[in-house]
Amino acid sequence: MRMRIGNGFDVHVYTTGQGLWLGGYFVEAPYALKGHSDADVLLHALTDAILGALGEGDIGTHFPDTDPRNKGRASSDFLALALETMKAHQLRLENIDITIIGQKPRLSEFRGEISKSLMSLTGLPSDAIGLKATTTEGLGFTGRGEGLAVQASVLLTE
């Protein structure tokens, strides 16, 4: 059986605003994430993991931030493109595993909603979606609350 593994990593910086997109779910918060698109750092890491598994470059290759069409664009579009590309390779998602790295927001309050959103976007059952969060014990830019980082791993099978 043909199998492909991929990983993705992304970081966005916090800015002023009224909430942030995370995994296709809008988290209300007294801050936002800065980005050319909707700045959904989780969907960006996941999209890059899938594209990486396929040897199809990265999100910047397909959706350059110099292209005005990508301004404010929903990151679910980027994920949809990666999933279409995956189907063209005759592969499907087996599971995804995601780690959100930062001091805020607290994932425990939104885990269910983000998981549901990822089920809807990927078609995966809940037991094929790992969704975890960690702080960095106050260390580094995530520890200082300056930004949010996400790591994503995927396994693609025939």
Tell me which residue of 117, 96, 95 sits closest to 21, measured CA to CA. Answer: 117
Omega within 30 of 0 (cis) for the link into 105: yes
Minimum separation from the CB atom of position 134 to Mg ion (A): 19
Q: Which of residues 41-60 bind Mg ion (CB under 5 A)?
A: 44
Output 10 or 131, the one with its CB closest to Mg ion: 10
Q: Closer to Mg ion at the Cβ: 75 or 122?
A: 75
CB closer to Mg ion, 54 vs 150: 150
Nearer to Mg ion, 57 or 112 (CB): 57
State the minimum distance, in angstroms, from the CB of residue 35 to Mg ion: 6
- Strands 147-157, 129-134: pairing kind: unpaired
Question: Are the C-beta atoms of residues 156 and 54 closer than 8 Å to each other?
Answer: yes
Please, which residues have CB within 8 angstroms of residue 46's CB and are 6 or more apart in sequence?
8, 23, 79, 82, 96, 98, 118, 152, 154
The correct pick among 4, 8, 10, 154 for binding Mg ion (CB under 5 A) is 10
Report the nearest approach of Mg ion to the CB of residue 70 (Å): 11
Kindly list the residues in this chain that would bind Mg ion in the complex (CB under 5 A). 10, 44
